[in-house]
Structure 1
């Protein structure tokens, strides 16, 4: 049995969980709505780790100007918005000037960074005073993430098969900035003030059948908030 459920099946269980738990939303929806609330006709946005598309595919028209940064040249060449401004580079050395952006956003990026401290300092550098950093990342305190760390490499072997990705598009997860405590510390060191750190549960990853779905829902109800599987965060760069 694979460690994670294929995406199409997972979405079907999510639809059911949403019906059974009114008000619950997947972390991707929470993140998307948070990004949308920070956009306006004059907003300059950096999509950090943009890959082939992401949240800006839908939300770009709401921003004044948006650009992407990713270290993978193949992903950039195959971006689903052909005229989307994008650059090849790493979060630890963002090739934009100080104070270039009102908003920096990233999803499924922080867990891959070899040096998150340096990357977050770069985020703070390219933000204008009063600017916002939004992110979505796994929470290493969740039991599933703990298991994945123990079974090193398992997730990377299965993700391409389950989510239809090429193996070259599946990057190793290092989890060096992936607990609430660690994130708060790194953001503070970088000169960013945490406004919100939202834990979002999701019991569908192991819902291979009815019994496992019910078991996952029971475990989800027992998990304390700081150990939910995903973290959606908002931090700001203070005014001098």
Structure 2
């Protein structure tokens, strides 16, 4: 996807900057709580892009590795980490074929990525493979509903009155329903634990007014990012996040036919 190659990621003039200011706070707080104080282990981010979430993961105390198919994005991530004095390993790879041995990581993250991969089943299976038994898989993605089409496709991409993202960024039929994802997790011996919704902190009318001001040129992306905050909620109709835990005895379960 061209936006992931060409956009400056960490710069306020970029649409991707909103990942840092709007999306990162809600999801990293959620994951921190579900990790139950785990730190000092190894963590993998699948689809790390420019490293916006990888640096947050490293700040939690994990020895962090990020993979992404975009060499340009990985260079941005590596340069930013180096400038900040962070030691994060970045490798060019895809989620469907992770270049790591079995049972390599204590935690794996795949955030805002499952709706972009070529093979969701294979990606989840690979994440499960490289997780240690008892390891935690943290993720967020977009549901496939009418509401998600209106918000993620219509408002944010398609309709110029409000759009902030390129029209080709997301494809609605690649969004994944929570029940579908739960099935993929179970198939890969990842025990699903919870799903929680992600939504704007402001009302729909106020949120649309913010987007409109950016579209009219009254605000830049930084102005929008400072005001558009996302929060955790119960509704999963548009975006949701969750976590699963890798079975400690998957081979025994297979022999029993479970």
- Cross-structure match for 1:208: 208
Q: Of the candidates 8, 25, 33, which is equivalent to residue 29 of structure 1? A: 25
SS of residue matched to 2:145 = coil
SS of residue matched to 2:196 = strand
Contact 2:42 2:63 in 1 (8 A): yes
- Distance (whole Å) between structure 2 residues aligned to residue 40 and residue 195 of structure 1: 17
For 1:88-127, what aligned pairs fall within 5 Å after superposition? 88-127=92-131
Contact 1:201 1:228 in 2 (8 A): no
* TM-score computed with the length of structure 2 as normaliser: 0.65
- Distance (whole Å) between structure 1 residues aligned to residue 48 and residue 25 of structure 2: 17
Q: Tell me by how many angstroms 1:84 deviates.
A: 2.0
User: Which 10-residue stretch deviates more, 201-210 or 177-186?
Assistant: 201-210
- Cross-structure match for 2:244: 235
Q: Tell me by how many angstroms 1:111 deviates.
A: 0.7
Q: Tell me by how many angstroms 1:113 deviates.
A: 1.4
- Cross-structure match for 2:164: 162
Contact 2:133 2:248 in 1 (8 A): yes
Contact 2:144 2:172 in 1 (8 A): no
Contact 1:45 1:102 in 2 (8 A): yes
- Cα distance per residue 1:33-81 (max 9 Å; x no partner): 1333426443100011111112232341332411100010000011121
- Distance (whole Å) between structure 2 residues aligned to residue 85 and residue 205 of structure 1: 42
Change (3 A) 1:95 1:7: closer
Q: Tell me by how many angstroms 1:155 deviates.
A: 2.5
- Distance (whole Å) between structure 2 residues aligned to residue 57 and residue 67 of structure 1: 10
- Distance (whole Å) between structure 2 residues aligned to residue 206 and residue 226 of structure 1: 19
Change (3 A) 1:85 1:157: farther
- Distance (whole Å) between structure 2 residues aligned to residue 180 and residue 186 of structure 1: 10
- Cross-structure match for 1:21: none
- Cross-structure match for 1:180: 178
Q: Tell me by how many angstroms 1:179 deviates.
A: 0.9
- Cross-structure match for 1:19: none
Q: Tell me by how many angstroms 1:101 deviates.
A: 0.3
- Cα distance per residue 1:165-209 (max 9 Å; x no partner): xx7xx7444654511111111111121110111123335598333
Change (3 A) 1:205 1:182: farther
SS of residue matched to 2:65 = strand
- Cross-structure match for 2:81: 81
SS of residue matched to 1:92 = coil
- Cross-structure match for 1:49: 47
